[in-house]
Amino acid sequence: MQLALWTYEGPPHVGAMRIATSMRNVHYVLHAPQGDTYADLLFTMIERRDARPPVTYTTFQARDLGGDTATLFKTAVADAYARFQPELMLVGASCTAELIQDDPGGLALALALPIPVVPLELPAYQRKENYGASETFYRVVRACVGTREREAGTKPTCNILGPTALGFRHRDDVKEITRLLEDLGVGINVVAPWEASPADIARLPDATFNIVLYPEVALTAATWLQRQYGQPFVNIPPIGVGATRDFITAVAKLAGIDPAAFLARKTSRLVWYSRSIDSTYLTGKRVFIFGDATHAIASARVAAEELGYQVVGLGTYAREFAREVREAAKIYGVEPLITDDYLDVEAAIKAANPALVLGTQMERHIAKRLGIPCTVISAPVHVQDFPARYSPVMGFEGANVLFDALTHPLMMGLEEHLLGMFKEDFEFNAEAAPSHLALATAAPATAETLVWDEAAERELRKIPFFVRGKARRNTERFAADRQLPVIKLETLYEAKAHYSGEAA
Amino acid sequence: MNHIADKALADKLRGSSCGTSCGDGEGSLQVALDPALQIGGAKVFAVYGKGGIGKSTTSSNLSAAFSKIGKRVLQIGCDPKHDSTFTLTKRLVPTVIDALEAVDFHPEELRLEDFVYSGYGGVQCVEAGGPPAGTGCGGYVVGQTVKLLKEHHLLEDSTW
């Protein structure tokens, strides 16, 4: 265990908060000290929800620890029930409160409320946010279903499982996939936990099959529903044209529909755009991908198969799905990066020297520091990834969005060739950094002790801007390895010969 | 059964009131069981005693018998010899410690099929594994195993 400044995932109770916030008529009483209430801001400031999460904190202070925190908790549960009148109550402790071992589950059950009370035991020092969300969703499902008879209709229907608050583009993905399924002729029984009430969850078994849209959240529940009710599930996140077509085929099979006509009719602009002339010179661009497993693996497929990029790095912070990422990394012949330490990720990006980074908010920062274009493709995200406009990443419209998101950062860079024509202009001179990359590239990192002599510096400037940074880094590494104090013209040439030999 | 009615005894067994006055004496390594490790749902039978008295044979036969009357059975071997489930699986299955080693002790990476093996009559078999008697920390191994089984929801339903 180590202290980290920034983490990809929060503690598991934040995952539980995401489930509670996604749903209707659910309340979560969280045994937590003052200060843990900061998590509210993720929902109101980052996701810009118009209401606070349905969470009551006990906010115990130092003086309460000398008294009776158990009574404090029971009072909080009773008050929350009286005030919010939920259909279902979640109770649990935050990572800090776990240490005082008050047993929130037992205390809440002792109140004998007239609604289902779901105790959440989330091991805060072993697991993280996505596990917390997955476990909470599973517990809610188990608490709600089985209380009524299954009513299977005549038309094939499905449940869409997994979309939550704070998820990357979940709001728009749900809309896009709902529309797609309805066009295909598959009815939607329940979407959960997104805007579902406990009564809706109770109807889950009525569907013919389940769609696991986000396995990080819904795979555990879907597996249990399959075991308990024989409901099969589709676990193909429809991200990109290929995956969307695979998804439609799998859904159609379970629904007993022939998808041929539908597949012939529907597609994305990505298919033609990526083949059109202005995109072909993106072919072979080096791309580094890091995120949750679902979005990382799917983005790698889009980048490699649909845009013709070269995947030079693939990784995830989600150990639960490390296996899938390792498998995917084999396809692209890269070493999978499984870590939740952003400094490891930064080092890997530096070493891979990509032209584009696809990542989370964390990689956005890293790429900015390194002066590399970046697109965010996965949670955790910041406020700009909850855009006002409709912007899904799933389905055919999602593929359109991905085409733009994965190509625009590079297109801007390519326009820099105009610099040659306006070389002497005050604004467009050879020293100016790419206009869209802030100031990061203006001052390339130089090793402190290395000095370039005038001739070498002049020669370096003749190298085209888009490889100049790499040439500088390689030469400096070459000189440092040989402990050369001054980089001369010959050093530059020798380094070039050395590294081109290595690449061959 | 896993509920101990006598609270003082329960506390003592869980180690909360243990100073130096209880336990196995000097030189033995002992860990207090995590008090959060309560098992709900499944009924628990513990079979223990000195070596060679038929613990494995009795357990395996009990498991087989329960499976025949439609129960969902999980047999957990806590002996480092890890052979209590041998007669059910007809082989020595990898232990929880083996599985943990394979994922560099990141338990969140483990899947059920890594450490749970189906044996005779659908009995699910787990071997905790661990150090030879008198070395290492057997308590840690058993604690990890119970945690894993709980996290994978194996201790919840006693019938299919």
Chain A CB within 8 Å of residue B35 CB: yes
Give the active site residue among A278, A425, A453, A481. Answer: A278
Q: What is the mean pLDDT of residues A384-404?
A: 96
DSSP-H helix ranges across A342-464: 342-352, 361-370, 395-414, 418-421, 454-462
CB A306 within 8 A of CB A274: yes
Name the B residues in 115-154 with CB < 8 Å from any A CB: 147, 150-151, 153
**Closest-CA residue in chain B for A324?**
B109
Q: What is the DSSP letter of B144?
A: H
Residues β-bridged to residue A452? A487
Q: Are B147 and A121 within 8 A, CB to CB?
A: no
Q: How many helices (H) and strands (E) does chain A have?
A: 23, 15
Q: What is the DSSP letter of A438?
A: T
Which residue pairs from A442-445 have beta carbons closer than 8 angstroms and sit at least 24 positions apart in sequence?
A444/A371, A444/A469, A444/A472, A444/A473
ipTM of the complex: 0.70
Q: What is the pLDDT of residue B22?
A: 44
Cα three-residue angle A240-A243-A244, rounded to 5 degrees? 80
Sequence-separated (6 or more) residues with CB below 8 Å from residue A208: A152, A156, A157, A158, A231, A254, A255
Please write the tens of the pLDDT for every residue from B81-138.
Answer: 888 899 999 999 999 989 998 898 898 899 988 999 999 999 999 998 877 777 777 7
Q: Are A127 and B108 within 8 A, CB to CB?
A: yes
Cβ contacts from A onto B, under 8 A: 26
Token pair, residue A291, equals: 């995120």
Chain B CB within 8 Å of residue A127 CB: yes
CB B92 within 8 A of CB B86: yes
Chain B CB within 8 Å of residue A126 CB: yes
Q: Are B36 and A101 within 8 A, CB to CB?
A: yes
User: How far is the C-alpha of A344 from the C-alpha of A353, rounded, in Å?
Assistant: 14
Sign of CA dihedral A162, A164, A166, A170: positive
Q: Are A323 and B109 within 8 A, CB to CB?
A: yes
Neighboring chain B residues of A127 at a CB cutoff of 8 Å = 108, 151
- Is A278 labeled as catalytic in the residue annotation? yes
Side-chain half-sphere of A408: how many Cα atoms within 13 Å?
9
* pLDDT tops 70 at residue A102: yes
Query: Of the ranges A11-25, A90-104, A167-181, A316-330, which one carries the lowest mean pLDDT score?
Result: A90-104
Q: Are A322 and B151 within 8 A, CB to CB?
A: no
DSSP-H helix ranges across B2-133: 7-14, 55-68, 86-89, 96-102, 112-115
CB B137 within 8 A of CB B29: yes
Residues β-bridged to residue A357? A288, A374
Under the banding of pLDDT at 50, 70 and 90, the label for residue A403 is very high
* pLDDT tops 70 at residue A445: no
Q: From the CA of B132, how many Å to the nearest CA of chain A?
A: 27
**Closest-CA residue in chain A for B110?**
A320
Amino acid identity, residue A313?
G
User: How far is the C-alpha of B83 from the C-alpha of B128, rounded, in Å?
Assistant: 10
Q: From the CA of B86, how many Å to the nearest CA of chain A?
A: 27
Neighboring chain A residues of B111 at a CB cutoff of 8 Å = 323
**Closest-CA residue in chain B for A128?**
B108
